[in-house]
């Protein structure tokens, strides 16, 4: 967050590096397809913590992204279409986008005259990127101890299928937490209401401008 004007460029650059690396891996077409199908399944089966149904004879348990390993191993298929803009670039692996040093937001407000609409504009662009790649999103601050422990728990959840019972957090602008499978363009559009001097599709660097360097 110390260089917010470069956030989108950095995300796109690293996504390209990751995509190039995956293309060079010695994987069969079947392995690549299976990996992509698993990402689709994980997204479709995300369930808000607390929304799962208790297993009964008449009401089977609703699948949750918090306990996907058995379903994925069994190869259960779900042919329902993905929501708008989701996984349009499917690399076939879990991705977590981490925006660090969010405590610097207060400095941006004081020194660069940033307002809430700047942070909302930035967040909606980052969230749209996350939708495209099926990624989770964490805003963290080690200095203020925000979301660092939750990020660790989420990583172990995705790697080892351990439980993760924290819902999406979007109220505090410096502590955003969005698990993969929760977000949508409709939810992102809520941020548009606060944008008075810019539009959602404005070029990122036209709104989040890099300050001139002093010689």
Question: pLDDT band for position 2 (50/70/90)?
Answer: very high
Question: pLDDT band for position 60 (50/70/90)?
Answer: very low
The pTM score is 0.89
Residue 79's SS3 state is coil
Which residues, in sequence order, are CB contacts of 132 under 8 Å at separation 6+? Answer: 85, 86, 87, 88, 89
User: Encoding tokens for residue 184?
Assistant: 């949508």
Residue 57 confidence (pLDDT) above 50: no
Separation of alpha carbons 154 and 164, rounded Å: 6
The pLDDT value recorded for residue 213 is 78
**How do strand 96-99 and strand 136-139 relate by DSSP bridges?**
parallel
Residue 94's SS3 state is coil
The pLDDT value recorded for residue 73 is 54
| Mean pLDDT calculated for residue range 200-213 | 95
The whole-chain average pLDDT of the chain stands at 90
Q: Are 158 and 43 within 8 A, CB to CB?
A: no
| Mean pLDDT calculated for residue range 90-96 | 98
Separation of alpha carbons 20 and 15, rounded Å: 9
The pLDDT value recorded for residue 212 is 86
| Mean pLDDT calculated for residue range 41-62 | 66
Residue 96's SS3 state is strand
Lowest mean pLDDT among 67-76, 111-120, 162-171: 67-76
Separation of alpha carbons 206 and 5, rounded Å: 9
Instruction: Locate the DSSP E strands across the chain.
Output: 96-99, 136-139, 177-178
């Amino acid at each position: 967050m110390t260089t917010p004007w470069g956030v989108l460029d950095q995300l796109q650059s690293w996504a390209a590096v990751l995509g190039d690396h995956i293309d060079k891996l010695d994987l069969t077409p079947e392995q690549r397809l299976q990996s992509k199908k698993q990402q689709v399944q994980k997204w479709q089966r995300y369930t808000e913590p607390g929304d799962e149904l208790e297993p009964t004879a008449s009401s089977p348990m609703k699948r949750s992204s918090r306990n996907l390993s058995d379903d994925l191993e069994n190869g259960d298929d779900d042919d329902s279409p993905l929501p708008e803009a989701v996984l349009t670039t499917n690399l076939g692996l879990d991705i977590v986008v981490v925006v660090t040093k969010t405590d610097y937001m207060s400095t941006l407000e004081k020194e660069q005259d940033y307002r809430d609409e700047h942070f909302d504009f930035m967040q909606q662009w980052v969230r749209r990127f996350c939708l495209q790649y099926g990624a989770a999103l964490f805003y963290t601050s080690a200095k203020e101890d925000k979301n660092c422990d939750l990020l660790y728990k989420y990583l172990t959840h995705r790697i080892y299928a351990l439980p993760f019972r924290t819902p999406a957090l979007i109220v505090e602008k410096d502590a955003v937490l969005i698990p993969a499978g929760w977000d949508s363009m409709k939810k992102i559009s809520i941020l548009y209401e606060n944008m008075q001097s810019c539009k959602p599709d404005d070029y990122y660097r036209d709104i989040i401008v890099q300050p001139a360097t002093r010689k």
